[in-house]
Amino acid sequence: MKFNDFADDSEDTEHTPAQRAAAASRSTWVSVGVNLVLSTIQIVVGVLAKSQGLIADGIHSLSDLVADFVVLFANHHAQKDADEGHPYGHHRFETAASLVLGLLLLGVGVGMVWSAVVKLENPEAIAQVHVIALWVAGAALVGKELLFRYMLAVAKRVKSSMLVANAWHARSDAASSLVVGIGIAGNLAGYPILDPIAALIVGFMVAKMGWEFGWDALHDLMDRSVDEQEVQAIRQTLLETPGVSGVHDVRTRKMGDMIVVDAHLEVNAALSVEAGHDIAVQARQRVLQRHRVLNLMTHVDPWRKPDLDHAAPPMRGGSAA
């Protein structure tokens, strides 16, 4: 999955809900405009130029419009505050949106594969493609690649897995346009079967991408933990809190693009309950400030310094006369 793009962290990231929502909305509306223009041109020219590959690519672009509106819907609801029915907020709307995007891609891909297979079963019916289809495929390739780079940059800045999914959806479109362009060129060169073969390849690419996004989102909805590197970073922040002698049983689960953490903190057993509570509060504040953690639930355990005087029997000195 491409969600590891978040590893390239920078200081200019936007973390507040308002900033993330604004950036997501802005980039998604740009995607809507680009996909609307491209899908219209590809489908119309594909029909007129008799290119199944270009029509398939246009349908893929059209599916992006639906995906974009899913993103806009989820982005709006994910920013809602916590309520009685959702005490941790509505962040998993983004994860659910990624699952919907994955299922959408999978369905579109399977449909494209089926259409191409039907065409390949009757190769003599494959028509000669007009050269204008090749120019449209090339223009679509350039437009989709530029859209991908723009959307991925925004997704990394705001750290949104939903926007990463949508950005790579655009990249899959760019790859499909490349394959379609090759198929159309082959058709023009005297190999008409290459056009439906290109549509078949695009279908497989789209279905694979949809499966990966859907499977990843499904695991997140099942409370999958974050990677070990991020867990260790949270553990280190807790250990560096004054008064914390040890940390164990650190458990994490994803809540959209945020993390919910449970941890056991070891503090001096001689401290009062109030003092131990204050240490836990400070540890929680430090984690929330330094990491993308939505909430940290702490359990304070008593810690006693090992008594070295009783750890081993005393040595007996002297020698026999």
What is the CATH classification number for the domain harbouring 261? Answer: 3.30.70.1350
Residue 200 is assigned to a structural domain of this protein? yes
Residues 236-245, mean pLDDT to the nearest whole number: 90
Question: Whole domain around residue 100: which residue ranges?
Answer: 2-221
320 in a structural domain: no
Please report which helix (H) or strand (E) contains residue 50, including its range. none
> In 3-state terms, what secondary structure has residue 151?
helix
The pLDDT value recorded for residue 152 is 85
Residue 150 lies in a domain: yes
Whether residues 241 and 212 share a domain: the answer is no
Q: Please, are residues 136 and 41 in contact by the beta-carbon 8 Å criterion?
A: yes
- The rounded distance, in Å, linking the Cα atoms of 84 and 88 is 9
135, 51 Cβ separation under 8 angstroms: no
Same domain for 189 and 251, yes or no, is no
The answer to whether residue 314 sits within a structural domain is no
> Is pLDDT larger for residue 63 or for residue 27?
27
Is the domain of 180 the same as that of 151?
yes
- DSSP label at residue 268: E
Report CA Rg, the chain.
28
CA angle 196, 202, 207 (to 5 degrees): 130
Question: In the Cβ-directed half-sphere of 7, how many Cα atoms lie within 13 Å?
Answer: 10
Half-sphere exposure of 204 (CA within 13 A, CB side): 9
Angle at 60 between CA 21 and CA 177, to 5 degrees: 105
Would you say residue 272 has pLDDT above 60? yes
pTM for the model stands at 0.59
Residues 88 and 214 both lie in one domain: yes
- Domain check: are 164 and 295 in the same one? no
pLDDT at 94 over 90: no
Cα–Cα distances in angstroms (integers) from residue 213 to residues 5, 25, 174, 206, in the given order: 15, 21, 17, 11
The domain that contains 174 carries what CATH number?
Answer: 1.20.1510.10
3-class DSSP state for residue 133?
Answer: helix
Instruction: Return the SS3 of 259.
Output: strand
Final residue of a domain: which of 221, 247, 273? 221
Is residue 7 pLDDT above 60, yes or no?
Answer: no
Looking at the structure, tell me whether residues 189 and 103 fall in a common domain.
Answer: yes
Q: Is 239 in the same domain as 266?
A: yes
Per the domain annotation, does 321 fall within a domain? no
pLDDT at 278: 92
* Residue 310 clears pLDDT 80, i.e. is over it: no
What is the average per-residue pLDDT within 39-62? 84
Co-location of 214 and 240 in the same domain: no
Positive or negative, the Cα torsion across 76, 79, 80, 84?
Answer: positive
pLDDT at 12 over 60: no
Evaluate whether residue 133 is within a structural domain. Answer: yes
For residue 125, what pLDDT is reported?
67
- Domain end, chosen from 178, 199, 221, is at 221
pLDDT-derived band at 65, boundaries 50, 70, 90 = confident
- Are 215 and 262 contained in the same domain? no
Claim to verify: residue 188 and residue 239 sit in the same structural domain: no
**What is the average pLDDT across 58-63?**
76
Short-list 37, 36, 288, 1, CA closest to 155: 1
User: Based on the domain organization, do 260 and 137 belong to the same domain?
Assistant: no
Same domain for 20 and 99, yes or no, is yes
Q: Is residue 68 part of a domain?
A: yes
pLDDT for 319 = 39
User: At which of 165, 188, 221 does a domain end?
Assistant: 221
**Can you read off the two tokens belonging to residue 42?**
């590809």
**Is residue 317 included in any domain, yes or no?**
no
- Total count of domains within the chain: 2
Answer yes or no: are the C-beta atoms of 93 and 101 closer than 8 Å: no
